[in-house]
Amino acid sequence: KQVSCKCASVEELKQEWEACGDGQLLYRNSKLANILFANELDRRLKGSGVTSNALSPGFIPGTGLSRHQGGRARWFMRWVMPNLPFKFIATVEQGADCIEMVCVAPELEGSGGRYFHLSQDATSSPDSRDEALAARLWALSDTMVAAYLPPSAG
């Protein structure tokens, strides 16, 4: 399930998110929005020489992800999770390597609209490749920032 991008205003979006009541769903949808936005940005920049890619540096327990959780959850994330042998768990250094690779790797020059997970080319979810959803998110984002942009930037 995803939170819709059909809201016409920031107020409507805020109401929808508050009514959701599922922090994990909102977190997942924020990650979906990141990928949708990167893909739409790449489409809009086609032919300009600038590209946009999306990435997931992996699940990095040492980043404060559990800072709003109770003491046991924070302890578990700090001391137990980093030592478990799961492939999806990354160190801060591995996460940084992924970000650096996607930003400056010569072999990615001119290549946009891609998704990388743990520094590997990957296929993102079908929802993240939905061009209509990306366009709606772009329109909502445009509405949200319009008041802060100079008139010529519109």
Q: Which of 27, 75, 79, 88 is catalytic?
A: 27
* Residue 115 appears among annotated catalytic residues: no
Residue 127 to residues 39, 65, 144, Cα–Cα distance (Å): 12, 24, 22
Q: Give a three-class secondary structure readout of 74-137.
A: HHHHHHHHHHCCCCCECCHHHHHHHHHHHHHCHHHCCCCCCEEECCEEECCCCHHHCHHHHHHH
Q: Which residues are catalytic?
A: 27
